[in-house]
Each structure stands twice: as C-alpha cells, then as structure tokens.
Structure 1
C-alpha cells in the first residue's frame, strides 16, 4: 500500500504544483479556462496559491500525515468546486479536470488507506 500512496501523492503534487505555477506566472491556459467558466481573472493568482499550498501540503504529508490528509481532502474539494463552475457555465469539456480530480482523489484514498 505504501507504493500506491507514494505514487499517487507524488503524481498529485506534481500535477497540482504545475497547475499552480501556470496560474502564478500568468500562462494563457488558466486565463482561457477562467474565461470559459466566466470567472474574473483576479481569481487566477489566488487559485494558484491554493493549488500550490495543496501541492506543498501533499509533500509535507510524508512528514506530518495529518497535513497530507488535509491537503488531499482540500484539493478534492477544490476540484469539486471547479466542476461546479464548469457545469454552471455549461462547459462540459472535463478531460483536464478529470485528470486532476481523479489523481487528487486517488491521493486522498491511498492516504487514508495507508494510515
């Protein structure tokens, strides 16, 4: 079980960390997604900070397990909120969203099962 926990946590941290960097450096993809779901661009940096905190929290969970659990749960909730924004805007191209959501959910599940 440890290998699954390690793999899913590292993958989720890498994906959410890269998404955080994209948001924080002003990459076009987060701007396009914000436009697609009718979210003001002023939210891009705060969303990037949340994603970055989640990625760091997942990694910190190796040393402080409760922190990793909270980070994984927070990321799952974050992506459920993103789903709600997409559904509200009738933007049903959910392939990128599903990659992040499934990976973070797997990290949460393996964290719970490993502990």
Structure 2
C-alpha cells in the first residue's frame, strides 16, 4: 500500500509542478488570459514576478519532496495557502466567476500534502 501512495505522490508532484511552471511562465511573459484575471482581481503588475517565483518554488519543493518528504510537505502547505489566498482575492474583488479555479488548485495541491504525510 505504501508503494502505491508513494507512486501517487510522485505522479501528482510532477503533474502539479508542470502546471505551476506553465502558470508561472504565463505570469512572467504576460499571457493575456492571466493578465486579464490578475487585473480583474486587482493584483499590481509589479507582483507578477514574485507570484510566479512562488509557483516555481512550490513546484521545485514538490519535486524535491520525492527525495526528501518534509520539503514536499512544506511546499504543498505553501501551495494550498497560496491558492486559498487567490480564492480570497477573487471573492474580495467580487469575481465569483474566477474563484473556482484557484479553489480547485488548492484542493489539487492538498492531495500531495496528504500523500506526503501518508508516506513521511
């Protein structure tokens, strides 16, 4: 059973990391859809680099967690908090249409957290 949980962690860590890198890259290059969403929520452009770097750090932490589980757990906690913060930002901006995406990403980020804890 533990091997299955570990393999699940690895697969999800890789998939979530790819998603984070793709999203962070979009922030850095000013992808039209990402910029529109960020402007709608009221995120200043000067924050895009910091937010993208946080995504990259989360991706790196999840991948490092394959070899050193505490780092993966810490990264997953940070990602869950990051995306819950995004949900709050959408709700504060009355952007109910945009809130489900970061909520789903918070849940998806919580899965490696649970799997990491199960295999720690």
Same-fold status (TM-score > 0.5): yes
Match of 1:114?
Answer: 119
Q: Which has the larger radius of gyration?
A: 2
Runs of 4+ in 1 over 2 A off after TM superposition: none
Q: How many angstroms does 1:98 deviate by?
A: 3.2
Match of 1:15 among 10, 19, 31: 19
Q: Which position in structure 1 is the counterpart of 2:62?
A: 58
Other structure's SS at 2:66 match = coil
Unmatched runs of 5 consecutive residues or more in structure 1: none
**What CA distance in whole angstroms lies between the structure 1 residues aligned with 2:36 and 2:119?**
37
1:99, CA displacement in angstroms? 3.4
Check conservation: 1:16, 1:51, Cα contact below 8 A. yes
Shift of 1:2: 1.7
What do you get for the CA RMSD once the two structures are aligned? Answer: 1.3
Say whether residues 1:73 and 2:111 are aligned partners: no
Quick one: distance in 2 between partners of 1:5 and 1:24? 28
Segments of 5+ residues of structure 2 without an aligned counterpart are none
Give the TM-score normalised by structure 2: 0.87
- The residue matched to 2:95 in structure 1 has which SS? coil
Partner Cα separation in structure 2 for residue 95 and residue 85 of structure 1: 12
CA distance in 1, matches of 2:90, 2:41: 6
